[in-house]
Amino acid sequence: MTTIVTRAYKDLDTAKSVVEALRAERHPDRDMDLFNKGDANLADKLAAAKVPAEAVPALVKAIEGGKPVVVARAEITPFGAAARAKNVLDAFNPVTVQGTDGDFYLSTVPLDGTAETIDSTHGRFFTTVQDIRAKRNWSFSAMMGWKMKSDRRPAPHLVHRGRKLFTEGYMPLLSDRKPVEGAIYREKKLFSAGFYPMLSDRKPADGLVMKDHPFMSQRFWKAPLLSERR
């Protein structure tokens, strides 16, 4: 969305000061215009500045009556550009123009271009391209194209080949005391069974629980597997 801010001023010097203040706020020159009495084709120039057609006659009348008009355009990005432009234009005591409130909003949603070429029905529309090497023995340095500083292999004792508790490999336990009976669950237990009762014992209605548990790719969109290899 583009915000069009229009303000009229009592004289040309004030309008020029507004333009300089906009530049000081880093508002692009391409997105602001100053219109003064004596300019030719005022209606066409205001339209080219993206001023809505319904506001053009009132602004032309104000300009021809000796009140210069500054037009500032601000896109939705960078954030806050429109608010800053309004603050600058309002700081120089603009005069009222009958027939227009001075602020307009234009939709800039693209109706064509690359967005129109997106195939939303494609099987991988919601997926990202995955590197098949992620399923194989790859290293981060190989993926990034970095060379290893050394091809030396680590010493055998530095690599754990099997499962080992942290205390077995690095430090002993502080105590060999066994935990109190009941402190460790010996079997699977529902959270509610161990701490607080269920609010209701009512079973869910048929249809609320999936019996077959399909894959997400089967239920929502057709995302092909990277490989059919078992």
- Does 33 score more than 90 pLDDT? yes
Q: Tell me, what's the pLDDT at 77?
A: 75
pLDDT score, position 215: 62
Instruction: Name the token pair of 48.
Output: 């080219």
**pLDDT reported for residue 152:** 77
Q: What is d(CA 144, CA 27) in angstroms, rounded to the nearest whole number? A: 41
What CATH architecture applies to the domain 2-106?
2-Layer Sandwich (3.30)
CA distance 118 to 101: 40
Residue appearing with tokens 């942290």: 166
Q: For the whole model, what pTM was predicted? A: 0.49
Q: What is the pLDDT of residues 101-153, one digit of tens each?
A: 899 988 766 545 565 666 667 666 666 555 444 555 556 676 677 777 777 77
Per-residue pLDDT at 29: 94
